[in-house]
Chain A
Amino acid sequence: MANSDSNNNTAVNVSEMIAQNKKKKNLSNFTEKSVPVILFLLASITVLTTIGILYTLITEAIHFFMEVPIWDFFTGTELRPLSQNPEFGLLPLLNGTIISSVIAMLVAGPIGLMSAIYLSEYASDRVRRVLKPLLEVLAGIPTIVYGFFAFTFVTPIIRAIWPQVEATNILSPGLVMGVMIIPMIASLSEDAMTSVPNAMREGSLAMGATKLETTFKVVIPAAFSGIIASFVLGISRAIGETMIVTIASGSSKNFTFDITESMQTMTAYIVEVSGGEAAAGTTIYYSLYAVALTLFVFTLIMNLLARYVSRKFREEY
């Protein structure tokens, strides 16, 4: 062991140098005190964002409701913002939003759930390692691309099969939106299912149940609230989705249940009106905020609901 030169014979006296540096430490003291303040201010930006959203939506919506009675807005079946005697009924938009979301969930719900079952219960590790990143790619495609796909590819195909379908219709964007939401439901449901303890599965399998029976009698009931939460988030995502419906469903404000027709969603209305000529201060302009506020409240409720459900779920283990 090279112990030839010991610690003592050295020129630098570190502790003394440190002690000396300490004396001029005022600056670092200041840093130490101001950093948390700066970080706090940065963190409060997220709170300001929420306040900003609420404040703008509410104040401008109030302007709107001073001109259009709130009751008329929520029960009106006519939406004619640009006509001579304009009408501002929300129901056509609400209808378009709900119908497109229902179509999307009819696609994304079962397929997402079945994908989750496959990934969590059946797939080998190797298969899962290939499939999951691919599903993530699907989730990463910008919605504008899906909009393009719905409008220029899916709609023509649907029309070839079912000629009554209009060039802009709610069916095509609904279906494509469903595909877009599959990865979200698949991955959240899969998380819920993989966190079901293996002991529960083994108990069932040991009694001679098949994997299928175990999945439906043990895993899904145990992961139920997590699965529900993933569906709720999927719905919230569908309600808030904008570009696909804006492009592929057109802008007619029909209050109808005919999925072959063009319908407008709340989001598409906002795009149409804000991107258009509506000057600040007009009723049309304010209607933007009333619709957006409704949309915001809807998605907020969905998100809170999803959190509430999945928290209950976490308590179970």
Chain B
Amino acid sequence: MSLSSENKMNVKLNNKDMAVNNINSEHRVVYDTKDLNLWYSDTHALKDINLEINEKEVTAIIGPSGCGKSTYIKTLNRMVELVPGVRTTGTITYKNKNILDKSFKVEDLRTQVGMVFQKANPFPKSIYENIAYGPKIHGIRNKKVLDEIVEKSLRGAYIWDELKDRLNENAYGLSGGQQQRLCIARCLAIQPDVILMDEPTSALDPKSTLKIEELVQELKKEFSIIIVTHNMQQAARISDKTAFFLNGEVVEFDDTNTIFTNPNDSRTEDYISGRFG
């Protein structure tokens, strides 16, 4: 199941290639955040965030716990609004529209922006129904189409081989790592443009973590991926760009290589070298 070490090398090489590519081919911006501030009632959780996130790259968000990583990523699909008393100012432009605008329909946004949570959260339904859920709520009823979507999404998350004979089993019977990949597959089923991941591997063992990291590398060919992680090695391994958050502010945002080898800000350096957080 796991890639050979040779393949791992490839992944790393790919990474470098991309970094080189970045200089030449201009990546379009998928999310343009300008002067974003967010309050939970009285807590000022995000302060003057300015970030341009590129399409079809992996953008990592790192920072100590409580610095606003989850808050930021949940603002990108407006899930943060589920918390009563949240206020925002500033703009986040996605496909030329400000998603923070009240007239922007959150359902449309979330159809195009998938999310994978810290703790795998499959529905207490069969594996098949988990994947078919998204297409169904968006009006796709044709059984043949659904079958195709299910297979394609499971293949996309590299668990088709493991699960193809268990499609009618309850998803709760799967291991933690499988559940998380099932959740990724569930995301893929509605073909989003962006996938948000909030510490997707923090509850997983190293082997499952590695599989998800490999998966992310594959997925970025098709999707823009924004991943929150508290694991700096992970950010270094899989991301193209890295944003370092501290106390609700973006301290530094740059190519991952730069952040990890030659950071501008001393606070970034402190964090990366493990001096706090």
A and B touch in their complex, CB below 8 angstroms:
yes
Report A's interface with B, CB cutoff 8 A: 1-3, 5, 7-8, 10-15, 17-18, 21-22, 24-25
Residues of chain B with a CB closer than 8 A to A14's CB = 135, 140, 149, 189-191
Q: A7-B155, A18-B138, A21-B139 are in contact. Are A2 and B160 (CB under 8 A)?
A: yes
Residues of chain A with a CB closer than 8 A to B222's CB = 7-8
- CB of A30, distance to nearest CB on chain B (Å): 14
A-B contact pairs, 10 of them (CB 8 A): A1-B3, A3-B158, A7-B222, A10-B148, A12-B152, A14-B191, A15-B192, A18-B140, A21-B138, A21-B140
- CB of A24, distance to nearest CB on chain B (Å): 8
Which of B135, B148, B156 is close to A11, meaning CB atoms less than 8 Å apart? Answer: B148
Report B's interface with A, CB cutoff 8 A: 1, 3, 108, 111-112, 135, 138-140, 145, 148-149, 152, 155-156, 158, 160-161, 188-193, 218, 222
A259 to B177, CA, bound (A): 71
Q: Are B149 and A12 within 8 A (Cβ)?
A: yes
- CB of B123, distance to nearest CB on chain A (Å): 19
Residues of chain B with a CB closer than 8 A to A2's CB = 155, 158, 160-161
Q: Are A15 and B152 within 8 A (Cβ)?
A: no
Which of A7, A12, A24 is close to B156, meaning CB atoms less than 8 Å apart? Answer: A7
A12 to B145, CA, bound (A): 7
A7 to B187, CA, bound (A): 14
- Chain A-chain B contacts (Cβ-Cβ < 8 Å), number: 57
Given contacts A10-B152, A11-B148, A12-B148, 10 further A-B contacts (CB under 8 A): A3-B158, A7-B156, A12-B145, A14-B149, A14-B189, A17-B139, A17-B145, A18-B139, A18-B190, A22-B138
Residues of chain B with a CB closer than 8 A to A7's CB = 152, 155-156, 188, 222
Residues of chain B with a CB closer than 8 A to A13's CB = 191
A8 to B152, CA, bound (A): 9
A15 to B138, CA, bound (A): 10
A237 to B48, CA, bound (A): 60
A13 to B189, CA, bound (A): 10
Nearest B residue to A22 by beta-carbon distance?
B108
Residues of chain A with a CB closer than 8 A to B148's CB = 10-12
Q: Are B108 and A15 within 8 A (Cβ)?
A: no
Pick the 6 closest A-B CB pairs, nearest first.
A21-B139, A15-B191, A18-B138, A14-B191, A2-B161, A7-B156
Nearest A residue to B219 by beta-carbon distance?
A7
Residues of chain A with a CB closer than 8 A to B158's CB = 1-3
- CB of B161, distance to nearest CB on chain A (Å): 5
Residues of chain B with a CB closer than 8 A to A10's CB = 148, 152
Residues of chain A with a CB closer than 8 A to B140's CB = 14, 17-18, 21
A2 to B164, CA, bound (A): 12
Q: Are A5 and B139 within 8 A (Cβ)?
A: no
A18 to B222, CA, bound (A): 18
Nearest B residue to A17 by beta-carbon distance?
B140
Residues of chain A with a CB closer than 8 A to B218's CB = 3
Residues of chain A with a CB closer than 8 A to B145's CB = 12, 17
Residues of chain A with a CB closer than 8 A to B193's CB = 15
Residues of chain A with a CB closer than 8 A to B135's CB = 14, 18
A14 to B222, CA, bound (A): 14
Task: Determine which residue in B138, B158, B161, B218 has the highest number of CB atoms from chain A within 10 A of its CB, and name it.
Answer: B138
Q: Are B139 and A1 within 8 A (Cβ)?
A: no
Residues of chain A with a CB closer than 8 A to B156's CB = 7
A3 to B155, CA, bound (A): 7
Q: A2-B155, A7-B222, A10-B148 are in contact. Are A18 and B160 (CB under 8 A)?
A: no
Nearest A residue to B2 by beta-carbon distance?
A1
- CB of A27, distance to nearest CB on chain B (Å): 10
A17 to B112, CA, bound (A): 13
A193 to B191, CA, bound (A): 55
Q: A14-B190, A14-B191 are in contact. Are A5 and B111 (CB under 8 A)?
A: no
A22 to B189, CA, bound (A): 16
A15 to B3, CA, bound (A): 31
- CB of B221, distance to nearest CB on chain A (Å): 9
Nearest B residue to A16 by beta-carbon distance?
B191
A181 to B145, CA, bound (A): 60
- CB of B167, distance to nearest CB on chain A (Å): 16
Nearest A residue to B215 by beta-carbon distance?
A1
Nearest A residue to B148 by beta-carbon distance?
A12
A1 to B157, CA, bound (A): 11
- CB of A10, distance to nearest CB on chain B (Å): 5
A21 to B149, CA, bound (A): 16
Task: Determine which residue in B191, B192, B193 has the highest number of CB atoms from chain A within 10 A of its CB, and name it.
Answer: B191
Residues of chain B with a CB closer than 8 A to A11's CB = 148
